[in-house]
């Protein structure tokens, strides 16, 4: 199968652009704007033109249309992700925010305390929906850290039991990788311990695995091994899987099968979700092998640059697809602009330090050529 890792359409008829796959190494050929490699996103960041082309190709068949986000390609996408995680079933959600919210709300039931990381998305970036709309009390652990420990979990639960009013901890939500912490992963060992303890106490486990497959790629731990520790896992369709929007929440059938009612109550029952689900399904199986190739290319690219004094690329401890790159130059903005002119986007630096993200747009370019562009842009 050939998978589209689109070039931007720069005047060429699209029909004449071969699909880009990991075995092709193409850089647009005809000039700077032809190449489109970015270090700013987790996914391909398809533009509307590319996206529409893809939809036209993949959404034309039978049994695509869904009905209020059920059936059709939505159902097939759900089944695919459930299978990837080794879980019984899955349900589409319009956003990860809603997936996390609906999951922890249902897990908690009347035990309204939920343990979370202080730097997690659900605690910082959701407008406090869990608290405001679901009346949950999110207890932040591990201030300024990526992982919390079983000890910290036990202490939080014990403190609760000492309170004058018994308030059950209904769920533990773990985000991994953690966006606010440069996509670092939560310690797998602690996950295992916490999961065992939680299950012995009847506390439910939820994984905000928006970018779980990045953790899988970097840790070598299979997605199913992660999933086996949790009652529910949310995966973003928007990040690694290139859908314009969308999320999928995986878990036991008894947990997910009536969730479309709750999804609708929150205003997430979209009449048609096939424009998202079809794209995520398209990339579901290919993300991991493509990303392995992207990592390989990034390693070659890094080795070339690290041989030079002006560059220093290094791993982040417990990191995944975010790296640290120091560039020695007095003209950092010139450097950025020259690369941009070649179709290479870097994230905004803090002084001369960048945190580039690896993603599958690296499949669009030969790593030696890419390194060459970087070196040239310093001149």
Residue 212 or 325 having the CB closest to a second copy: 212
- Should residue 251 be labelled a site residue for a second copy when binding is judged by CB under 8 A? no
- Should residue 64 be labelled a site residue for a second copy when binding is judged by CB under 8 A? yes
Nearest approach in angstroms of CB 248 to a second copy is: 14
- Should residue 128 be labelled a site residue for a second copy when binding is judged by CB under 8 A? yes
Nearest approach in angstroms of CB 376 to a second copy is: 29
- Should residue 350 be labelled a site residue for a second copy when binding is judged by CB under 8 A? no
Q: Which of residues 164-193 bind a second copy (CB under 8 A)?
A: 164-167
- Should residue 149 be labelled a site residue for a second copy when binding is judged by CB under 8 A? no
- Should residue 59 be labelled a site residue for a second copy when binding is judged by CB under 8 A? yes
What is the number of other CB atoms lying within 10 angstroms of the CB of residue 103? 31
- Should residue 202 be labelled a site residue for a second copy when binding is judged by CB under 8 A? no
Q: Choose which of 34, 251, 275, 356 interacts with a second copy (CB under 8 A).
A: 275
Q: Choose which of 154, 224, 257, 265 interacts with a second copy (CB under 8 A).
A: 265
Q: Choose which of 6, 81, 255, 274 interacts with a second copy (CB under 8 A).
A: 274
- The piece of 93-101, 282-290, 323-331, 364-372 that touches a second copy (CB under 8 A) is 93-101
- The piece of 19-27, 227-235, 239-247, 349-357 that touches a second copy (CB under 8 A) is 239-247
Q: Choose which of 7, 37, 85, 99 interacts with a second copy (CB under 8 A).
A: 99
- Should residue 341 be labelled a site residue for a second copy when binding is judged by CB under 8 A? no
- Should residue 131 be labelled a site residue for a second copy when binding is judged by CB under 8 A? yes
- Should residue 33 be labelled a site residue for a second copy when binding is judged by CB under 8 A? no
The full 3-state SS of the chain, as one line of letters, equals: CCCCCCCCCCCCCHHHCCCCCCCCCCCCCCCHHHCCEECCCCCCCCCHHHHHHHHHHHCCCCCCCCCCCCCHHHHHHHHHHHHHHCCCEEEEECCHHHHHHHHHHHHHCCCEEEEEECCCHHHHCCCCHHHHCCCCEEEEECCCCCCCCHHHHHHHHHHHHHCCCCCCEEEEEEECCEHHHCCECCCHHHHHHHHHHHHHHCCEEEEECCCHHHHHHHHCCCHHHHHCCCCEEEEECCCCCCCCCCEEEEECHHHHCCHHHHHHHCCCCCCCCHHHHHHHHHHHCCHHHHHHHHHHHHHHHHHHHHCCCCEEEEECCCCCCEEEEEECCCCHHHHHHHHHHCCEECCCCECCEECCECCHHHHHCCHHHHHHHHHHHCC
Chain residues that interact with a second copy, rule: CB under 8 A = 9, 47-49, 51-53, 55-56, 59-60, 64-65, 93-95, 97-99, 101-102, 109-110, 112-113, 124-129, 131-138, 140, 143, 159, 162-167, 238, 244-246, 258, 261-262, 264-275, 278
């Amino acid at each position: 199968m050939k998978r589209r890792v689109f070039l931007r359409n720069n005047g060429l008829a699209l029909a004449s652009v071969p699909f880009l796959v990991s075995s092709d190494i193409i850089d647009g050929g005809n000039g700077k704007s032809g190449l489109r490699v970015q270090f700013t996103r987790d996914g391909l960041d398809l533009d509307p033109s590319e996206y529409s082309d893809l939809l036209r190709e993949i959404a034309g068949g039978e049994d695509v249309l869904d009905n209020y986000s059920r059936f059709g390609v939505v159902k097939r996408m759900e089944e695919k992700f459930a299978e990837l995680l080794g879980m019984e079933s899955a349900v589409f959600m319009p956003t990860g925010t809603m997936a996390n919210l609906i999951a922890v709300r249902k897990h908690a039931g009347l035990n309204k305390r939920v343990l979370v990381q202080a730097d997690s998305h659900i605690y910082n970036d959701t407008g406090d929906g869990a608290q405001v709309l679901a009346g949950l009390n999110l207890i932040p652990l591990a201030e300024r850290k990526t992982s919390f420990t079983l000890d910290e979990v036990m202490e939080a639960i014990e403190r609760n039991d000492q309170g004058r009013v018994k308030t059950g901890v209904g769920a533990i939500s773990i985000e991994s990788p953690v966006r606010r912490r440069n996509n670092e992963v939560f310690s797998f060992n602690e996950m295992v311990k916490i999961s065992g303890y939680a299950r012995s106490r009847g506390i439910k486990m939820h994984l905000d695995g928006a970018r779980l497959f990045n953790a899988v790629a970097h840790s070598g731990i299979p997605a199913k091994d992660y999933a086996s520790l949790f009652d529910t896992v949310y995966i973003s369709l928007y990040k690694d899987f290139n859908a314009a929007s969308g999320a999928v929440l995986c878990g036991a059938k008894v947990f997910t099968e009536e969730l479309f009612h709750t999804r609708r109550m929150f205003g997430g029952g979209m009449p048609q979700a096939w424009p998202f689900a079809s794209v995520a399904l398209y990339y579901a199986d290919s993300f991991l092998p493509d990303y392995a190739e992207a990592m390989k290319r990034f390693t070659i690219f890094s080795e070339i640059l690290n041989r030079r004094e002006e560059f220093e690329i290094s791993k982040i401890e417990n990191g995944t697809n975010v790296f640290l790159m120091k560039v020695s130059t007095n003209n950092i903005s010139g450097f950025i602009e020259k690369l941009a002119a070649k179709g290479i986007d870097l994230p905004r630096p803090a002084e001369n330090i960048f945190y580039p993200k690896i993603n599958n747009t690296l499949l669009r370019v030969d790593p030696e050529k890419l390194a060459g562009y970087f070196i040239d842009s310093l001149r």
